[in-house]
Amino acid sequence: MLRVAISDAACHVVASRLAGFSKQWLPAQADGGSLAENLALQNIQARLRMVIAFLLAQLTPWTRGRAEYLLVLGSANVDETLRGYLTKYDCSSADVNPIGAPPPPVGPCRNADICASR
């Protein structure tokens, strides 16, 4: 398994490009920024992690002369998913979330094929 660590430098590059576009710097809460600005900086890091993970999943087989793609495993957990505590396009957007998938619904079964597999 390949773990992708996104440094503060990568977030700084994205934030500096935003500053060049908007003519405003995005300060962290520790630097006098608001909670919304702080969350935006945290979300940049989570989303960059997934962009790089998908990039590596697509390019790793290519470097070995293969034509397939790899799946990206996410690390979102089920408690956060059920509570809605997640960042859009972060670990919750992986191809497979082994610990973040909500449990199947429990209740009356109306489909015979699904009921038989329970």
Residue 45: its pLDDT value, please? 82
Question: In the chain, pLDDT over 90 holds for what percent of residues?
Answer: 5
Q: Which pLDDT belongs to residue 3?
A: 53
Distance (Å) of CA 90 to CA 27, 42, 72, 101: 21, 11, 11, 14
What pLDDT does 42 receive? Answer: 80
What pLDDT does residue 81 have? 73
Q: Where are the beta strands (DSSP E) in 1-118?
A: none
Q: What is the pLDDT of residue 103?
A: 61
Q: Which domains does the chain have, with CATH numbers?
A: 8-117 (3.40.50.620)
Query: What pLDDT, on a 0 to 100 scale, did the predictor assign at position 65?
Result: 92
**pLDDT beneath 70: ranges in the chain:** 1-7, 100-118
